[in-house]
Structure 1
Amino acid sequence: MSEMKERGRLTRIVDFFNECGMLRKTPRTGYQFLGSGSENVAEHSFRTAVIGHVLALMAGADVPRTTYMCLFHDLHEARTGDFNYVAHIYNKSERTRVLEHATEGTGLTEDILGYWNELEETETLEAKLAQDADQLDFILNLKEEQDQGNKYAGEWLKSAVKRVRTQWGRELAETIVETDHKDWWFLGPDRDWWARKNGKSGE
């Protein structure tokens, strides 16, 4: 992409930010087959990074490195789009080349390609945790869809749980399966709120 060599570093960094913004407009396509649920790649990447951060703390691993791997793990999809499991059978993308082009002239290539290569090789604990975080975000979504009545989500959930690699990931996956997705807000600190809401606080 020789035309980018004429652009200054700060301009290329702004280009990079704009490219990252495309992830908000890039849908995750597997939900087309599930029949319910939706999200974009930016939404997925955010919670994956949060989960990776927590997993690394649980495992005593390098927290920043794990979190950064999660944050950038689907960056290439700003250019390629998201390939679901069916699309992967027929389509291949040059993901490393995408990241080289995306970061050219920004000064970010070494960092981001370093995270990407480590994640792809999946030999370090941090990379395994980042891979688990990716799956755990999906597992959380599947559990929500199952709770709301999609029977196929339950079938997908069983398969997704089997893909989790680490003991910390497996512990969280098992807990997700056992936890209603709405408990965090519905149960709340004060169950009487639901009765008081309609002006019954004085009774």
Structure 2
Amino acid sequence: MSRLSTQHRHQIQSVLGACPLVPVISIQDPDHVVPLGRALVEGGIRILEVTLRTEHGLGAIHQLRRAFPEVWVGAGTVVGANQYRQAEAVGAQFIITPGVTAELLEFGLTAHAPLLPGVSTTSEMMMGYAMGYREFKFFPAEVAGGIAALKAFSGPFPDVSFCPTGGIRQETAGDYLALPNVKAVGGTWLTPQDRIEAGDWAGITELAAASLKGLGQF
């Protein structure tokens, strides 16, 4: 069986080490892409996960890569190898999936952009672990057991790190990051749709800055 290279692991570790907060971005209007990216970056965010939940996702990744070369820009909600290829083609620097399939895990072994596979169970984690993956997205975090589940995972998988996403709020992000096996957390609270639609970019910058400040030592 092929295994994940050390280079790929170092790449995803670099992404997760760049910022403790990962905004989950779903673009409804292409005109919002750059102003939203600027608002988050000015608030201190250094990782931008653009989901492929809308038709504007791939274009948004391309725009953000050009506009903000100093931050990590990647694709989220990738559910197949074809989407993985499309995201790489527009410049995605990392790939995040909501779950795992053998196809995705195998594709990630040799892909240019490193993969952060999504898992919610130990069985899914073991699929990736057998192939050399040690960094995972835990999704949907709150529904799948939250902090208690992550603590339990640390027993059989002491060398695995997570980026939990799903149901995490500004008030609970620090509780997750206090766990030794959590390197970053993702959330939609950093990109509230009402502020985006209102063009309240200053408000989003303030929200990002306040969220980071609230983490203290993290």
Q: TM-score range by the shorter chain?
A: under 0.3
Q: Output the TM-score relative to the length of structure 2.
A: 0.24
Q: Output the TM-score relative to the length of structure 1.
A: 0.25
Greater share of strand: 2
